[in-house]
Structures are given as C-alpha cells and as structure tokens.
Chain A
Amino acid sequence: MSRFEIDLVWRGGDEFALRVEIAADGPTLGVVGPSGAGKTSLLEVVAGLRRGASGTLRVDGETWIDAARRIELPAEARGVGWVPQEGLLFPHWSVRRNLLAGARRARRAGRDLPGDLAQVVELLEIGHLLRRSPRSLSGGERQRVALGRALCSAPRLLVLDEPFAALDLARRRRLLSFLLRARRRLKVPMLFVSHDPVEIETACDEIVVLDGGQVRALGPARQILRTLQRPGGGVETVFDARVVARDLVQLEPGGPELHVVGAPAAGAVVVGIRADDVLLATERPIGLSARNVHSARIESISPHGMVELRLEGAASPLVAEVTSRAVAELGLEVGSEVLAIVKASALRLEPDVEASG
C-alpha cells in the first residue's frame, strides 16, 4: 500500500489550490479540467520544475514539499517518472540509452536495473526499438519509450501529462492498455492528466476536477464521472469548427455540419458538446425538434455508459452518455451504426482564440 498526499497552493501565472490524499495499491489520481485550469502547474510543482508553492506534498511517507518547514526537494531528489505529451526523448541517445537515463537513481535505490529494463522492454514491447534513434520513432513508439524511461528510473511517483494526447484514438487505446499493464505489475502511484474521459475512467482510482485553479470535484473515479454532469461540470467533447453559413458550423475540415444558435458571422470557433446532451437513436426519428441528426458509428462503450461515437466524416470522436439500460435496450455495441441527436441550442460555442491568432 502506498499513498500520496497533496495540499498545495500555487500562486503563479496559472494558479491552483488543491488538497487531496489518496492511498491505494498503486494509487492513481486523475486530473481533469479545461485549459488553463492549473493542471500543468500542478504537475510541474509536484515534479519540482516550478518552485515556490506553499503547502505540503508527501509521497510514500517522504516529504517533498513542506513550505512551513522550508522543505522543497529539488527535482532531481524527488524520484518522479515524468511522461510529457511529446515524450521529450533525448534526441542524441539511442532508445536503449534513453531508457537508462535514470539508471543512476535506480541503482542507488537498489533496483535490479537489468531486470527492470528487461521487464519494461517486454511490458511495452519495445525490444525491436532499442538500437534506434528517437528521431526515427513514430508518435506511439516515442510515448512507449518515454513511459519506459520513466519506469526504469525507480520512480516513486509517475507523472503523466496528457501522455497520449498527440496520438490517434487506436494508438491511444493501445498505449492505455500498456499503461494499465505497467500499473498492475509495477504498482507505482500515478498522477495522470488527460482530456480523454475514457482514459481517466479506466486508469484512475480518484479524480480531481480542476477549473480556474479550484477543485470543482474530487472523489472516486466512477462517482466523479457521474457527478460531473451537474451544470458547469460535465464530460464535454470539444471540436475545432468553422462557421460556414448563418448558424451552421462545420466540425473540422470536411467534417459534419451542425446547426447552432448565436454563431458569429464567420471564422473559427470551438464547439463543445456535453456528453449528456447527446441522444442516441437506432432509427431516424420523425417530427423531431432537434436540428442535428447525424449518422455515427460506435467506437467504444464504457461500463458506465460513456459511448464514443464517430460522426460520419468527423476525424475525432464524440462522447455521449447514456444509461446502461439504454445500451441494453437499444442493443448498442461497438461498431453499431446509430443516429446521434443534439439540439442546436445545447452546443456551446466559443470563438477560437488560437486559430484567429
């Protein structure tokens, strides 16, 4: 049984205040929230890459931060296995040498390094990559090596900062299974930031929802994913879109067109669709007021009713939430063709600041 306790306040550019204590056999804390919620600050403070937070941080009985006692271990003394979104492999070293980058710490911790390396290589199926240069790896391979590098460094806490966000869905799911395998075998506590409700739900014991630096919700994963549906929370899928006509937006280039309310006259927008605003139907309804009815294929169904759909023509999936009874009665399964229905007024629109510069 290992545990970690976080009671931190950070007053920097991207603020947060967080108090959480979790204990489990390889406990995993998921961190979710919109951009600018303070997730990255939290991870960097925990990893020791940003200094000056107040409060305390204890991992497995060891104090990393105790501001009152002026304790703040430097990053290199903490034992964090860091897996960032882009992998950040050392480009001048082979994959093998990257995996051994934290060898010194592992030896000091008394780990059997060749044994750990062999186990990680087998677990992540990267044996054929060992002599390669990181520059020649695909995105998924790179992330597996980054995870392996962290695991080989005798980490006391794995810190995963949207490690799979740059990958397509199939690779993401595959890497998630690698991560779960590693967690089962190595039992390292994890701090896991992700935008993907399915990843969070499968990988995490506890979830904290950060928004504007404040904890919006905190608790066991399943419970939180349910309570998230109250106003202001909620699992929401976000698409990049463009206004193509009056109150009509196109999701991603070449994607489906959706009716919205109150769109700007033109330009790039971000469209948010809350999971509980999406209805599923197996037959095309008649006499329906909802403006958006689109064919979609089901890509995955979680035990708690989170359904990932691929709208016809869309590049990324949409998450819908239905009850498990609905899943059973409609006979929904992976690969089923359904109709996804969303009211025009339920779509959240925001001007796309990044795209418009």
Chain B
Amino acid sequence: MLALTLRVAAVATVCITPPAVALGYVLARRRFPGARLLSAAVGLPLVLPPTAVGFLLLDLLAIDGPLGRRTLGVDLDLLLTWKGAAVAAGVMSFPLVARTARVAFEAIDPRLEATARTLGDGRLRAFLRVALPLAAPGLVAGVVLGFTRAIGEFGATVIVAGNIPGETRTLASAIYTAQQTGDSSQGRWLIAVSVAIGLVAVWVSETLAPRPLSGAPGPPAERR
C-alpha cells in the first residue's frame, strides 16, 4: 500500500513537473491576454472541493466523455486503476507546482536572461543556463510540495480510482478505511507514516524556499 502510494505520487509528480514549471515560467515572464484567466483556471483545483475535481475527471474519462473510449477509440484504462489515481493526484498537485514555480521565477531579475541573450544564448538556452538554475531551489520546494499533496490526495482519487485494496488503496484512502472499519491501531500507524512524510517534505521545502539573493540588483525603477 505504501509502495503503491509512493508510485502514484511519483508518477503524478514526474508527469506534471515539466508542464507546471513551463507554465509557471510563462506566467512569470510574459504578459498576454488571458494570462489571468489561465492562472485562475490552473489554480482552480486548489479552491474546488477535491470531490468536485474527481467528479469532473470522471465525466471526462467516462466511456462517452471527451477522453472516453468511444471518443478516443482507445481505452486509456484510467478508471478504477492506479494510473487513474495518478491522474487525479497530478491534477490536484499541478497548481501547487505551477504556482511555486511562478513565484520562484518572479524572484529572478529578467534582465539576467536578457543579458544572457546578448551574450549569444537563444531564449531556450538562456532559460536553461540562467533562469532554471537560479530558480532551482524554489522549483525543488514546489515539486516536494506537489509530491506530498499527491500522497495525501483523497477526494478526487477515490472518485476516479476507487479504494480497491492492493490496486488503488493509497495511504489516504487506507486511513479513511481504517477509520470506517474501526481499526484504530492500523489508523494510528498510517497517520504516523503520514506525519513522517509530511515533516520531511516541509523541512525540505522550507530549506529550499527562495530567499532574496544578497547583492541582488535593485528594481528597474531605480534606474535614472
């Protein structure tokens, strides 16, 4: 069960990290019409009840849904499987990773990338050589947060993937089951595991959270 939980969370985190980081960068650097709307849409899973997200995912993945077997012609095999649990966990964690990434990139002076471009780096290379390493601590903190969120995800997961012992029962749903069946010793043990994982995650993200760089250049407004 613990291995399954870690697998679900790891797959979810690995899949969402590249697009979430890319989106965080775009939101931090570009001004374009609809940026706010996009930002709000991405943040939605943070404010919706997780069960609502699970419900929407279920509609999306149902046989007749936009991502269902009849529409796509192939079965993604996500309903009531551990992969479905990973999708639900990924959707719930995405905003956390994207938002921390955005904050991490916003803390970096965009003129550093501009300088890299004058030195011959294209946009992508400037991003990889300057923005990404400078934002790395913040990005790692965001990924850790996202991973922990994925481990704890319950509402959306249980709707999409169910709570099948050995197949889709994750740490969170196991705690729920233990409580429902009155198995409090099992419940306490699972909670102890959760607390341990949570403490490590918080410690890691606190350690890596973006700090103002000493000697960082002042804001552009200081220029005469």
Contact = CB atoms under 8 A, between A and B. Distances in A.
B215 A75 contact: no
A91 B213 CA distance: 8
A88 B118 CA distance: 12
Contacts of A48: 117-118
A135 B119 contact: no
Contacts of B116: 90, 101
Contacts of B224: 35, 162, 165, 195
Interface in A283-334: none
Interface in A81-127: 81-82, 84-88, 90-92, 101-102, 104-105
Contact of A88 (B112, B121, B125): B112
B133 interface: yes
B139 to A, nearest CB: 14
A149 interface: yes
A78 interface: yes
Contacts of B216: 91
Interface string B186-224: 000000000000000000000000000111111000011
Given A76-B120, A105-B119, A105-B120, A86 B130 contact: no
B223 A76 contact: no
Contacts of B111: 84, 88
B134 interface: yes
B115 interface: yes
A71 interface: no
A109 B115 CA distance: 19
A55 to B, nearest CB: 20
A49 B114 contact: yes
B120 A92 contact: no
B122 interface: yes
A80 B125 CA distance: 17
B129 to A, nearest CB: 8
Interface in A40-91: 40, 47-49, 74-76, 78-82, 84-88, 90-91
A interface, size bucket: 20 to 34
A107 to B, nearest CB: 10
> In this complex, which of A75, A102, A105 has the most chain B Cβ atoms within 10 angstroms of its Cβ?
A75
A84 B109 CA distance: 13
Interface in B132-149: 133-134
A47 B118 contact: yes
A305 B84 CA distance: 80
B104 to A, nearest CB: 13
A42 to B, nearest CB: 14
Nearest to B109: A88
A17 to B, nearest CB: 22
Nearest to B116: A101
A134 interface: yes
Contacts of B215: 91, 134-135
> In this complex, which of A74, A82, A87, A153 has the most chain B Cβ atoms within 10 angstroms of its Cβ?
A82
A82 B223 CA distance: 16
Contacts of B130: 90
A67 B217 CA distance: 34
A90 B112 contact: yes
Contacts of A84: 111, 115
Contacts of B213: 91, 135
The 5 closest A-B pairs by CB, nearest first: A105-B120, A102-B119, A86-B217, A75-B117, A82-B118
Given A76-B117, A76-B126, A82-B114, 14 more contacts: A35-B224, A49-B117, A76-B119, A82-B119, A87-B217, A88-B111, A88-B112, A90-B116, A90-B130, A91-B134, A92-B134, A134-B215, A135-B214, A150-B119
11 contacts: A76-B125, A81-B118, A82-B114, A90-B115, A91-B213, A105-B119, A149-B119, A153-B119, A162-B224, A165-B224, A195-B224
Interface of A: 35, 40, 47-49, 74-76, 78-82, 84-88, 90-92, 101-102, 104-105, 134-135, 149-150, 153, 159, 162, 165, 195
